[in-house]
Structure 1
Amino acid sequence: MSKPAKSNSARSLSGNGTGGINLGPWRLRADWQGSYNVNAGYASRAERRFDWSRFYAFRAIAALHAQLMRGENFFSADIFDSFRYLGARLLSDDNMLPPNLRGYAPEVTGVAKTNAKVTISQQGRVLYQTTVAAGPFRIQDLSSATNGTLDVKIEEQDGSVRTFQVTTASIPYLTRPGQVRYKVALGKPTDFQRRSQGPAFASAEFSWGVNNGWSLYGGSILTGGDYYALALGIGRDLLALGALSFDITQSRAQLPGPGFLILNGRSYRLSYSKRFDEYNSQVTFAGYRFSERNFMSTAQYLDARYGSGNIGNSKELYTISLTRQFISLGLSAYLNYSHQTWWNRPSNDNYSLSLSRYFDLWRFKNASVSLSAYRTLSNGYRDDGFYLSMSIPWGNGITLTYDNQTSRTGTSNMVGYFDRLSDGDSYNLKVGNDEHGQASGSAYYTHDGSLAQMTANASYQDATYRSIGMSLQGGMTATAQGAALHRINLPGGTRMMVDTDGVGGIPIRGYGTTVRTNLFGKAVISDVNSYYRNAISVDVNDLADNVDATRSVVQGTLTEGAIGYRRFGIIAGEKAMATIQLTDGGTPPFGAIVSNDAGNQTGIISDNGSVWLTGIAPGALMNVRWDGKTRCAIRLPEPLPDLTHPLPLQCRPHHDQTNHEVKH
């Protein structure tokens, strides 16, 4: 919610997510996104929008090391551009390959002037949405399946909106010798309102590892005679010199008009990547592409024939990134430059530079200073920005900061106080002046909980605006074994449900996160990896005194989108010495095992029936076993007596355990 100084207040609510059901090997999913906006005033009118942006189903086909997907999808290829379609797709799944053969996930960088909402979308579908604090941000957790042109929107709390595009391209990929990777798709293109656009199409793409150094790749898209595209390329591992690929794409498009307009054109692409270990640097020259005037991608053809009718095609496109670590100076540098031109409109250029250095300042260790600068040239409009930040650790999770931000509208200066709380939560307070020289302040709070991740923020600028906001990100998983709320990593992704035998509050460690089981002893770990053996464990160092873990580690390998189920061995209850006597006056033999109803061992009998018993609860039933058979059972008293003295118990056959028989 925001309140500009000279106009009515405005409220907005937005969200996006994924719902789904797993039926055997099939994963049924539905993506949704919605928004609600209202401006207060005499003629105020709420704007509501809710869309089911995609319905689809997929499954793994282990015999082919591939994934089959049906329904609404976005065309995903390493060679061709993306577009929306309804149909089916079969592709060799990179997640089933070793990590060094998988594609990379594109990253999005920028600078927020205030606490801002960042939305990343593609052809109207929201892929990622988050809030960021004022200053530079770097989003690196996009799906590795994301490719093509991404639309990035930064909505500042002062009401200003900035948009730009990020064009992703695959770095040179090589295929193992003798291995073939492929993608096949059939369907009909559609728009965001699910209206059919154009004739049916068929596409195929492959990559063949010819030998240790060479890979051959190519593909085609064919429609009902109006459009086709053919591509062929080659990749080469240059060993110490890096990796290089080059491909050519030929297109033919027939557009309506007098005599039908037929356009034939070619597009050339060169990609290079190299890691210089001796210099601690990485250079990526990702996707230099030159397209002739008459070349048309499938998305451009669909837009020209069934959309806006614009046939203005791209000319040049390239992105260069450089990462360098200057270890002796403690300096890290990141440089990114992208350039895109069209045949009939102005070019776009994006520059970004980040420098950061850690150092010791007097008694303060690991102080840091960072510099970020950017320049965007789009359609003749120039936007420059400069951000300088310094942080000084003050101890006990406290950090003092200073930020200076300069843009075409002015310069702001802010001093801040950051504190990380004992439960992992953190907050950030800043005060200073905005770019117009007026008093300004902001607050940002982050809560990383077991059930969800929450952020809350507030901003104030004198005589300009006041605003508050909150974001919540989480999910719910329900199975035949139970249900639990939880944090999410990738909506609709792979997860593991764990069971602690009905004992709540048990700390469970995933990959970088710790969650606690709910009242029913269930928890969901959402950061598991597909096609990996995932190990999940109980944090035994954080268990309560009356809880023991007899099985504290579980493992599982899951296919993409699966929901696994594993059970820990947890014993909750008091601990005390006890003596167990049989009905004939004897005692169980030395080494006999005592276990609870869940089958977890609660004690081992020693001489004269003595046992150190765990999991003692009023009225609980425990079994005693020796020689491989369950011989008798004991019923604990209800209520429990004083446990400072050995607890006398009698072991009776199961059919005698209808009442709470105990020996006092």
Structure 2
Amino acid sequence: MVFFPAGTRFRIQLLRVCICLAISSAMPAFADDGIQFNTDVLDVNDRKNIDLSQFSRSGYMMPGAYSLAVHINKNELPEQNVPFYPPDDDPKGSMACLSPELVGQLGLKDEATKGLRWWHQNECLDIASLKGMEARGDLATAALYLSIPQAYLEYSSADWDPPSRWDEGIPGLLFDYNLNGQTQRQQRDGVQSYSLSGNGTAGANLGAWRLRADWQGQLNRQTGNGQGTDQQLDWSRYYLYRALPSLRSKLTLGEDYLNSGLFDSFRFTGASLVSDDNMLPPNLRGYAPEVVGMAKTNAKVTISQQGRVIYETQVAAGPFRIQDINDAVSGELDVRVEEQDGSVQAFTMNTSSIPYLTRPGSVRFKAAVGRPSDWQHHTNGPLFGTGEFSWGVSNGWSLYGGALGGGDYNAASLGIGRDLMALGALSFDATQSRARLPQQAGTLSGGSYRLSYSKSFDELDSQVTFAGYRFSEQDFMSMSEYLDARHEGRRVGNSKEMYTITFNQQFRDAGVSLYLNYDHQTYWDRPVNDRYSLTLSRYFDIGRFKNLSLSLSAYRNKYNETKDDGMYLSLSMPWGNGGNVSYNTTVNRNDTTHRVGYYDRIDENNNYQLAMGTSRSGANASGYYNHSGDMARLSANASYQEGRYSAVGFSAQGGATLTAEGGALHRGGVAGGTRMLLDTEGVAGVPVRGYGATSKTNAWGKAVVADVNSYYRNKASIDLNKLGDNAEATKSVVQATLTEGAIGYRKFGVIAGEKAMAVIKLADGSTPPFGATVTNGRKQETGIVNDGGSVYLSGINAGDSMTVHWNGAAQCEVRLPTPLPADMMSSLLLPCTPLTGADTSTGPEATR
């Protein structure tokens, strides 16, 4: 037999193919128990010592229970135990038993389930009751393949599964963190400042329930001005939630922020039941808010709502665009940009939502009950209740409305939405409030009116992501304004008018793209706030210089009567394999800076950026480095401005996940969010990935990927190009559709160890039959016996045991030497010890 210089799995499959090709050329004789082959065509010395039982029946698997991954058409379910029983009309046959629990995961339509028939004491689905359905087990891939006509299945898409296939994950504990540290020295006054801030989530999962606790803290210290140290750590929120797939909704108990499409958000303690758009197919979902701005230097950006930190990160100098904010966030957000030169930008933005439209015949709803609460976890307002709905009246029209009532505050809203088809989507609603303040006689009553519009102009390559106008009468109050007035003894934040627009335009022929964001807010009792942001980008070629990029960003921010204008111009071109060089200039009211920079991507896990330049106050330099490690995402930055300041900063984002199946430290995703625990069966150092950079499994063969989405069909894989020579992947791709906050668990098939030729000998000096299989302690196939007992084995580890199978059962056991021979190029001689009760007889008569 000639062995090719290829992987072990390839050799095993090649040997299978050779056997099948050889025996298929023989004239088969059909008997009651299957197919008998003429083995004379095989080039084997001892034709009496052959075991072809595994090839005698197409797809045959011996009766018994097997742990198999279930494939439904092109989709995959988690590994589970699947019994195989002889069917009533074929005692020597074998058929997969699809239990009612497994059938419940197939995603069958209601009308398809009504005609199902069952067998084996009603434990197994009669596959014939679904015309056209097929089931096939395959031990080589440890999988059960189900082919089901699409007409029987619920709606699914390339990235989405119906609720019957959603996975609640496994029980476990988690702790996520996001740390940011900075030190700055002001050269003019000698003040040295140190700051460390962080936020994150701790939690536990049990079944469908998710227990979470959000935390945030900061430590500030200054020397040279006598201010000392300021520190604070708060557990800002405790809550419990779970998905209710049957209602396409999410139930939350504990401390929460009102999630409403009609009323402003405020903090409360109680319960809420909200239709979750994330449970809808991707093309029917909304979108998350995004924050755009410009940093003059390396800066820390903090996004908060009513004092709770939602998102915090460090950005390099220049424009930034933050798009990965949780889509459950609604209402007004506070944005704070802390520059390394000591200056601070601050502005507010309103999270916009697309018009409140619903598919025909569908109803979306949101309901909550409880009492307003504060940061000290004390209730400080009246018991309230709120509910709202959106009803798809017909193909194009939606009716929506809701009410909020509690104590001396009541509000009601009613609106209508229209899908204008080619002209976009439009909605209008009116809200009326009535409030009585303890310190004020009489009742305040007023209205608020809102118009929203959204449209994608495909033929013009433009998109109005959101455009809105809102006018509120002077005596209109939101619930949050009412609560603030009760606490402060006076009204604050009395809104009047608000305009907002987010617009994208592509000019593909000219290679130009435009992004515009505009927010305008007026008040009855305080100054106007304005925020403009415009970005123009163009890609072009000049001679032999290709893919040059020119970008112009400008903004104007008017906040609390303070104006802040700025502009950023950048020209960059590729340099080398993964880098680019750039020139940029930043202009603001205080300074004008010119920089030349270089960016390079070392690999998928590492990149850096260096810049040097001049400004009115002197020379400047900065650097930025990012590393996506196995256990955390790290970044470091430094900047220097002659005569003004020097600064150094760092950030770390990661988490820890622990379950009964194992755990790992890992890079961070959404704090407290969905993640997947990957198991390589105890093999360390295996490169795995979700949608981000590759991570390696820890010493226990575990890794966690947190870059997965709730209710999406997520895939994780082994990076075969980076897999070491001492390991082979028999199953390199897994997938899962997880509910929000779940800890998914998936296993890869990995065989680790040395590879070598071996000769297996039985106690009487004979050899196992041609075609016998060898498996390790994890039931993984590590080789197929060739003529004369020779076998190419993989997964060889000192002291391990392997079993040899023929006649449909394990017959004998080989034990690998300790230590392994220094020269693995020569064949190993492996005695095979008979197992108790095994029939080690070989030859054709033994296989009949």
TM-score (norm 2): 0.76
Deviation of 1:188 (Å): 0.3
CA distance, structure 2, for counterparts of residue 211 and residue 422 of structure 1: 52
Q: Which amino acid aligns with 1:315?
A: K
1:355-374 maps to which residues of 2 (within 5 A)? 355-374=536-555
Q: Which amino acid aligns with 1:416?
A: G
Could you tell me which of 377, 382, 406 is aligned with 1:199?
A: 382
Deviates more, 1:150-159 or 1:536-545: 536-545
The corresponding residue for 1:257 is 439
**Is 2:698 aligned against 1:518?**
yes
Could you tell me which of 291, 304, 328 is aligned with 2:509?
A: 328
1:201-238 Cα offsets, whole Å, 9 max, x none, are 001111111111111111111102x0111111111111
Contact 2:810 2:835 in 1 (8 A): no
Deviates more, 1:356-365 or 1:568-577: 356-365
CA distance, structure 2, for counterparts of residue 589 and residue 214 of structure 1: 73
CA distance, structure 2, for counterparts of residue 56 and residue 627 of structure 1: 58
The corresponding residue for 2:425 is 243
Change (3 A) 1:457 1:311: closer
Change (3 A) 1:41 1:409: closer
1:566-609 Cα offsets, whole Å, 9 max, x none, are 11111111111111122233222222221111111111112222
**Is 2:672 aligned against 1:492?**
yes
Deviation of 1:423 (Å): 5.1
The corresponding residue for 1:80 is 263
1:162-191 Cα offsets, whole Å, 9 max, x none, are 100011121114212111111110110012
The corresponding residue for 1:64 is 247
The corresponding residue for 1:477 is 657
SS at match of 1:172: coil
Deviation of 1:320 (Å): 1.2
SS at match of 2:603: coil
SS at match of 1:300: helix
Deviation of 1:30 (Å): 0.6
1:124-523 maps to which residues of 2 (within 5 A)? 124-224=307-407, 226-257=408-439, 260-307=441-488, 309-422=490-603, 424-434=605-615, 436-523=616-703
1:508-547 maps to which residues of 2 (within 5 A)? 508-547=688-727
1:448-488 Cα offsets, whole Å, 9 max, x none, are 12221111011111111111111000111011111201111
CA distance, structure 1, for counterparts of residue 228 and residue 374 of structure 2: 28
Deviates more, 1:573-582 or 1:128-137: 573-582
SS at match of 1:255: coil
1:61-83 Cα offsets, whole Å, 9 max, x none, are 22222211111111111111000
Deviation of 1:396 (Å): 2.2
Number of aligned positions between the proteins: 654
CA distance, structure 1, for counterparts of residue 246 and residue 401 of structure 2: 24
1:51-130 maps to which residues of 2 (within 5 A)? 51-130=234-313
The corresponding residue for 2:813 is 633
CA distance, structure 1, for counterparts of residue 641 and residue 260 of structure 2: 46
**Is 2:226 aligned against 1:43?**
yes
1:598-647 Cα offsets, whole Å, 9 max, x none, are 11111111222221110111111112222332222110011112322221
Change (3 A) 1:590 1:211: farther
**Is 2:206 aligned against 1:4?**
no
Calculate the aligned-residue CA RMSD, in Å: 1.6
The corresponding residue for 1:574 is 754
Deviates more, 1:137-146 or 1:355-364: 355-364
**Is 2:832 aligned against 1:651?**
yes
1:8-47 maps to which residues of 2 (within 5 A)? 8-41=191-224, 43-47=226-230
Contact 1:495 1:527 in 2 (8 A): yes
TM-score (norm 1): 0.96
1:480-533 Cα offsets, whole Å, 9 max, x none, are 111201111101111110111111111112113321111111000111222233
CA distance, structure 1, for counterparts of residue 518 and residue 802 of structure 2: 69
The corresponding residue for 1:661 is none
Deviates more, 1:169-178 or 1:261-270: 169-178
1:8-43 Cα offsets, whole Å, 9 max, x none, are 211111110111011222111110001001112473
CA distance, structure 2, for counterparts of residue 311 and residue 385 of structure 1: 30
The corresponding residue for 1:589 is 769
CA distance, structure 2, for counterparts of residue 408 and residue 40 of structure 1: 29
1:367-395 Cα offsets, whole Å, 9 max, x none, are 11100001122333322111101112111
SS at match of 1:421: strand
CA distance, structure 2, for counterparts of residue 364 and residue 433 of structure 1: 26
1:342-389 Cα offsets, whole Å, 9 max, x none, are 112221111111001111233232111100001122333322111101
Contact 2:604 2:693 in 1 (8 A): no
Contact 2:551 2:570 in 1 (8 A): yes
CA distance, structure 2, for counterparts of residue 408 and residue 332 of structure 1: 27
Deviation of 1:547 (Å): 0.9
Contact 2:568 2:586 in 1 (8 A): yes
1:246-277 Cα offsets, whole Å, 9 max, x none, are 1111111011135x330111111110011111
CA distance, structure 2, for counterparts of residue 239 and residue 447 of structure 1: 46
Deviation of 1:559 (Å): 1.1
Q: Which amino acid aligns with 2:401?
A: G
Q: Which amino acid aligns with 2:230?
A: E
1:304-327 Cα offsets, whole Å, 9 max, x none, are 112352245111112012210110
CA distance, structure 2, for counterparts of residue 18 and residue 456 of structure 1: 23
Q: Which amino acid aligns with 1:227?
A: Y
Change (3 A) 1:441 1:236: same
Contact 1:418 1:428 in 2 (8 A): yes
**Runs of 5+ consecutive residues of structure 2 not aligned to the other structure:** 1-182, 838-848
Deviates more, 1:488-497 or 1:120-129: 488-497
Contact 2:346 2:559 in 1 (8 A): no
Deviation of 1:655 (Å): 6.5
Which structure features the higher share of strand residues? 1
CA distance, structure 2, for counterparts of residue 443 and residue 391 of structure 1: 17
CA distance, structure 2, for counterparts of residue 285 and residue 26 of structure 1: 35
